[in-house]
Amino acid sequence: MNETRLAIVIPCYNEEDTLSFSISRLSEVLDDLISKNEISDKSFLFFVDDGSLDKTWEIIHNAHLQNPDKIKGTSFTTNFGNQNAIIAGLDTVNDLGVDCAITIDADLQQDETKIGEFVQKYKNGADIVAGIRNNRDTDSLVKKVPATLFYKFMNVLGVNLQPNHSEYRLVSKKTLEIISNYKETKLFLRGLFYELGLKTDYVYFDVKKRQFGESKFNFFSLMRLAAYGIVSFSVRPLRFVFLIGLFISFMSFLVGILWFYLIFIKGDTLFGIEGYEICEMFFSGLQILCIGIIGEYIGQILEEVKSRPRYIKDKDLK
C-alpha cells in the first residue's frame, strides 16, 4: 500500500457553476492515482469556500456528506481573497497530517491530468513542484500585458520569479511546516515559496479556457496583488526614491549656480515664467509619486503591525 497521503486544495469563490463538475473530475483523478497505487487511499480533496455568496458551500457540504473521507473543506465568514484561501487550505491539511498538498483553481483551467506528474516529481525528491503555464493565450489583454510587465519589473527589482508561474503547485510536508512559521498577513505566495531554498522542480501545463462561471479577478485586484508582491519582496523602489531625490537636489544646486552666474555676473535671466511652471509641475508630480511609493510601504507596515488574522473560519468539514 502506498503511504503518500496527498491533499488537493481548491480555493473557491462563487464557483457554483463549475463546482459539481470540478468535484467529480478531481475525484476521478484522485481515485485513479489511488488505484495505480501512486498515493495513499487516505488522500482527499480539500475545498476552501472564500466567503462565497452563492451555493458554493452547499455543493461542498453535500459532496462531503456523500463521501466524508474523500471530500473535506472549510468556509470563511467573508471573502478574504485567493491567497488567504490557499494558505488556509494548506495550514489545515498540514494539521490533518498529509505528506504533500497540491493547490489548483476550482475552475480546472489548469490541466488536472498533470497531478500525477507533480506527485512523481515530489517522489523524486522535490519539496516544491511549481506549475508553469506554457502560454498566456487564454488571458485577456488586460491581464496579459500587466502580468508580463510585472514579471519583468520583479526581475529588475532583483526578485527571481519564474515567469508564467501559477498557483498550481505541489508542496511537501516539510514546506508546509516551514511556511506555517511565516506570519505575514499580506501574502504573495508566488514569491514566498521560492525564497525557502528548498529543492524545486517544474511541471509545464496548458491553460484551458474557463468552461463555467467567470474570472474572479479584475484589473484592480491583480494590481493589488502585484503591489503586495513588489512591496513584500523588494525595497528597491525606496532606494529609487532616495536616488531620484539625490539627483534632483544635485541638479537644482547646479541650476542655482547657473542662475546666480547669469543674473549677478552676466545681468541676464534664466527662465521665462512658462519654463518655470513646467518644471514645477514635473517636480510636483515626481514628489507625489515618491510619496505614493513610500506610502505603499507604510501601508503594508501598518497592516503587518496590526497582525490581524489572515482569515476567519466559519465552518469545518473534516
Among 49, 50, 99, 107, binds Mg ion (CB under 5 A): 107
Q: Which residues are 11's β-sheet partners?
A: 48
Shortest spacing between CB 8 and ligand UDP, in angstroms: 12
50 binds, among ligand UDP, Mg ion, none (CB under 5 to 8 A by kind): ligand UDP
The contact pattern for ligand UDP, residues 182-221, with x = CB under 6 A and - = no contact, is ---------------------------------xxx----
Give CB contacts under 8 A, 24+ apart, made by 68-71.
68/317, 69/42, 69/44, 70/27, 70/30, 70/43, 70/44, 70/45, 71/23, 71/27, 71/44, 71/45, 71/47, 71/317
Shortest spacing between CB 51 and ligand UDP, in angstroms: 8
The contact pattern for ligand UDP, residues 94-113, with x = CB under 6 A and - = no contact, is -----------xxx-x----
Shortest spacing between CB 140 and ligand UDP, in angstroms: 9
The contact pattern for ligand UDP, residues 27-56, with x = CB under 6 A and - = no contact, is -----------------------x------
Shortest spacing between CB 29 and Mg ion, in angstroms: 18
Quick one: 105 or 112, whose CB is closer to Mg ion?
Answer: 105
Find the angle CA(278)-CA(282)-CA(288) to the nearest 5 degrees: 145
Among 11, 73, 89, 237, binds ligand UDP (CB under 6 A): 11
Quick one: 107 or 112, whose CB is closer to ligand UDP?
Answer: 107
Query: Which residues inside 211-270 make contact with ligand UDP, applying CB under 6 A?
Result: 215-217
Find the angle CA(227)-CA(232)-CA(238) to the nearest 5 degrees: 80
Residue carrying C-alpha cell 512559521: 181
Shortest spacing between CB 183 and ligand UDP, in angstroms: 21
Quick one: 166 or 237, whose CB is closer to ligand UDP?
Answer: 166
The amino acid at 220: F
Sheet holding 44-49, edge to edge: 200-205, 128-133, 165-172, 100-103, 6-12, 44-49, 71-76, 313-317
Which region among 6-14, 25-33, 145-153, 181-189 touches ligand UDP (by CB under 6 A)?
6-14
237 binds, among ligand UDP, Mg ion, none (CB under 5 to 8 A by kind): none
Shortest spacing between CB 280 and ligand UDP, in angstroms: 42
Which region among 5-13, 120-128, 146-154, 282-290 touches ligand UDP (by CB under 6 A)?
5-13
Q: Is 87 in the site for ligand UDP (CB under 6 A)?
A: no
Q: Is 15 in the site for ligand UDP (CB under 6 A)?
A: yes
Residue ranges binding Mg ion (CB under 5 A): 105, 107, 109
Residue ranges binding ligand UDP (CB under 6 A): 11-13, 15, 50, 79, 81-82, 85, 105-107, 109, 215-217
